[in-house]
Amino acid sequence: MAYRGSQRFVRRIRPTRFGAGRRGGAGILRLLPVAAFAIYFLWFYASNREEVPLTGRMQLVDMSQEQEMALGLQSYREILSQERVVGQGEAVDAVRGVGQRIAAVSEDPGFNWEFNLIDSEQVNAFALPGGKVAIYSGILPVAANIDGLAVIMGHEIAHAIARHGAERMAHQKLVQFGSMAAGMAVSDMDMQTRRMVMGALGAGAQVGILLPFSRSHESEADYMGLIFVARACFDPREAPLLWQRMGEASGGKSTAEFMSTHPSHETRIRQFEEWMPAALEVRERHCSR
């Protein structure tokens, strides 16, 4: 009797235990992609760290400089083929002369520098990996003088030297892999809930990771560019004045800083003023002879 009673007891509880095991196993399986991503992240971060010249910051870069330069050259050629590139003239000579002068005193890793002027009303400039820089003619009135132009070009040269483009690609890769892992972890949710969760994660990654890194890159390029400008014997004191003019050119309109890829004009002016004593000391040391 005891034996048969035990058998009946086992039969009664067996389905319950089996169901709980399935639910627990499914929960563990859902967490596996997240755990795998965490392990990958730790390996990726430890294996792909480099030091930014001048600032000493450790950055995350997972491609060789040769790969980065090839991508930069390809993109540069594509952009220039779609724009009106100014071939000659006083403004072109100024852009190329200032660029070469700053690159010569920078932490140049051996780039094949190119500086071009694009005929456009855009108040903008950009740098691509490998030392490919372009200035839009619309920014020249805001630059106002040769020192203002030097501040703009020093900033763009710094972006290339600091490998910010490659670093952004590494960050985006991690965010993409993290999103894939999260998507697998919530795959058993209903469609509406899954969309809400993934939307929240995407917004969090953008506001909490990608945008802050972008702003930090801009500030790092501002600092490095200011030091390069001082080394090249331009006047670094033009930097905060340039950003005052940038603010005036934008009509005072700006996106809230936490939602922007760039620091606000006010933040940049304040930072330049903080860095100015060091920049002037560098200029005195390099240019007093």
**Residues labelled catalytic:** 156
> CA angle 20-24-27, nearest 5°?
145
End-to-end, the C-alpha distance of the chain in Å comes to 107
Q: Provide the CB-side half-sphere exposure for 241 (13 A, CA).
A: 12
**Do the beta carbons of residue 91 and residue 117 sit within 8 Å?**
yes
Q: How far apart are CA 145 and CA 138, in angstroms?
A: 14
Q: List, in sequence order, the alpha helices (H) in the chain.
A: 2-47, 65-81, 90-104, 140-143, 146-161, 164-185, 191-205, 211-231, 238-249, 265-287
Q: How far apart are CA 273 and CA 137, in angstroms?
A: 27
